[in-house]
Each structure stands twice: as C-alpha cells, then as structure tokens.
Amino acid sequence: MDQFKSTVSTAEPSSPSPSPSAFSNRLDFEASDVVDSDLLFVSFNQDYGCFACGTSKGFRIYNCQPFKETFQRDFPTGGIGMVEMLFRCNILALVGGGPNPMYPPNKVLIWDDHQNRCIGELSFRSQVRAVRLRRDRIVVVLEHKIYVYNFGDLKLLHQIETIANPRGLCCLSPSSSSCVLACLGLHHGQVRVEHYGLKKTKFISAHESHLACFALTMDGNLLATASYKGTLVRIFNSLDGSRLREVR
C-alpha cells in the first residue's frame, strides 16, 4: 500500500451536496495480557486467521492458531476504539475510543505501522460506527449513511442511505474476484447488497424484525442473516435474493 504518500483529509459532504467463540480452545485475557488498559474493541481480519484488540492505550494483534500475541502498539496519549486490519499487512484503520480517545470518534485514520504514522485521514460530521477494508476499498459506516472510498487515493466512490444503524452493521467480501457489500436497507429487516463488479443492487427482505447481524461468504455470493428474535438464521443467494436455507 505504498501508494499513500501523504495524509489526505476528506470531509463528509453536506446534504444534499457520506466472536472468538469459533476457537477450539478458550482464550482468557488476563490482567497481564492487557496491562493497565481496558479492552474496547475486538475484530477479526478478513481471513479470520488473526484478530485485533483496541484498548484504552493502543491496540494489539493476536494470531488465532496457535493463539499468541504477535504485536502491540501503545500510544501515550489515548485509546483506540476500533481497529480494522487489512489481512496481515502493516496497514490498519483506526478510530479513537475510550475515556481519552487517541483520535476523535468522527475520524478514520489509515495507519502504516512500518512507518509508525498516519498516512491517510477521513473526517465526518458524526461518529464512525464501523470501518471495513479490502485491498481496493475503504468502507466507513455512520449511523444513517455508508461511504465507499477507493483505497489508493481516498476518492469517494459511493454513498448509501440506511435505516438507523447504531451498531455499524456492514460486511464486505474480501475476495479479489468480486467486490460485494452488504448493509442495512431503508426498512426493518431489509439487507441491501451491492455487487460492484456487476453494477447490481439487490434488496433482500430477510426478517420481519430488526436485524441483529449478517455475514457474507468470502466471494460474496451467499448472505447469512439473523434478527433480534434470535430464533432463525437464514441463508440467501445474494445475487437474486432467493432464500436457500433456514436454520433454527
């Protein structure tokens, strides 16, 4: 990702003119693992081979199998509320968090850990709820809007309006052969799927109640959803919206 040469700040345009439970062994984070800091955030990388933890003093990276800490970065001035990895490379997306955030919660910092500095910045008028990365895209989720950027130059490519999304629900396929994004639609229980390579948008009415979570397969062809009722997991074909399976 050495195409980043300088910090770029991109403001949100004004209107109208953007669980480790799968482990085979139990992982215990003892006081010695996160010394004098609070755990604020946990997320897997794109292939689920490792995960990142944001803390009140920085962030840490852990390998899943075998389980071990592989890296830590402590900041003397504040905490990291979100850490999004890009596979296993040195580029991460950071959002400040905790009682003394390292960065404002309305900014996404693209961090190059080889250079130990920020190489890109995206600024918004409201709090960032989630960030998703792939090698050619950066997706930033706000409560009512999603912004899609080109990774190389931080050019804004797409804006999506959503229903209220305080938990930042969004997923992005990591496969280089297809670019698929799934997010909330404009109605309860609805998922919007963007197939960018095919220039196709599909709305799927997945549940009658609010969505609790959803996930795409690596290639983005299948979508799994669950609602707050928690009794059903449904699997859909993301291209045509057909329901393939329902699991209780």
Beta-carbon count within 10 A of 153 CB: 10
**Angle, alpha carbons 27-60-105 (nearest 5°):** 115
Cβ contacts of 66 within 8 Å, gap of 6 or more? none
Whether the per-residue pLDDT at 2 is higher than 80: the answer is: no
Digit-coded pLDDT (tens) for 130-185: 999 999 999 999 999 999 999 999 999 999 999 999 999 999 999 999 999 999 99
Evaluated on CA atoms 49, 54, 55, 61, the torsion sign reads: positive
Mean pLDDT for the stretch of residues 176-202: 96
Q: With 60 as the cut, is the pLDDT of residue 99 above it?
A: yes
The C-alpha atoms of residue 234 and residue 101 are separated, in whole angstroms, by: 38
Whether residue 5 has pLDDT greater than 90 = no
pLDDT for 29 = 46
- Domains identified in the chain and CATH numbers: 1-135 (no CATH), 162-248 (2.40.10.480)
Interval 241-247 mean pLDDT: 96
pLDDT tier for residue 41 given thresholds of 50, 70 and 90:
very high
Asked if residue 120 has pLDDT above 60, the reply is yes
Confidence of residue 36 (pLDDT cuts 50, 70, 90): low
What mean pLDDT is predicted for residues 18-32? 40
